[in-house]
Amino acid sequence: MDLVYFEELMFTIAFGGYTLSSILFFIFVAMKKERVGKAAIGLAMAGFGIHTLAIVLRVIESGRLPFTNQFEFATSFAWGIVLCYLVLHFAYRFTGVGAFVMPMAFLVMGYASMLPKEIKPLMPALQSSWLYIHVGTAVVSYGSFAVAAGLAAMYLIGERQKASGDGRTVLPKSEVCDYLSYRVIAFGYLMLTLVIVTGAIWAKYAWSRYWAWDPKETWSLITWLIYSVYIHLRFNRGWKGKPAAWFAVIGFISVIFTFIGVNNILPSIHSYR
Partner 1 sequence: MLPGDVKGFPQYGFSLRLDDFRLGFRDNGTVDQYYSDVTVLRPGGEEWSDTMWVNNPLKVDRVDFYQTSYGWANSLSILGPEGEEENTLLRNGESYFYQPGHLTVYLYGYFPNMALTSMGEPITMTEQEINPYYAVILYEFGNHVASEILEPGQEYQFKDFTLAFNDSQLYTGITYRRDFGYIFVVLGSLLMTLGLVFSFYFYPKHILVEENSVRTITRQNTWGFEYQVRQLVQQSVEKEE
Within 10 Å of residue 29's Cβ, how many Cβ atoms? Answer: 21
Instruction: Assess contact for 181 and 245: CB atoms under 8 A.
Output: yes
What whole-number distance in Å separates Cα of residue 92 and Cα of residue 87? 9
**164: Cβ contacts below 8 Å, ≥ 6 apart:** none
CB of 103 to partner 1, least distance (A): 25
Shorter beta-carbon distance to partner 1: residue 200 or 266: 200
What whole-number distance in Å separates Cα of residue 266 and Cα of residue 91? 39
CB of 235 to partner 1, least distance (A): 8
Counting every residue written for the chain, the total comes to 273
CB of 127 to partner 1, least distance (A): 6
Q: Write out the residues near partner 1 by the rule CB under 8 A.
A: 92, 121, 124-125, 127-128, 130, 175-176, 178-180, 182-183, 186-187, 189-190, 193-194, 197, 200-201, 204-208, 210, 235
CB of 200 to partner 1, least distance (A): 7
Shorter beta-carbon distance to partner 1: residue 75 or 181: 181
Shorter beta-carbon distance to partner 1: residue 207 or 246: 207
CB of 193 to partner 1, least distance (A): 6
Within 10 Å of residue 235's Cβ, how many Cβ atoms? Answer: 11
What whole-number distance in Å separates Cα of residue 195 and Cα of residue 59? 21
Shorter beta-carbon distance to partner 1: residue 107 or 176: 176
Shorter beta-carbon distance to partner 1: residue 19 or 137: 137
CB of 132 to partner 1, least distance (A): 13
Shorter beta-carbon distance to partner 1: residue 132 or 235: 235
Shorter beta-carbon distance to partner 1: residue 127 or 264: 127
Biggest CA pair distance of the chain: 60
Shorter beta-carbon distance to partner 1: residue 40 or 180: 180
CB of 122 to partner 1, least distance (A): 8
CB of 144 to partner 1, least distance (A): 12
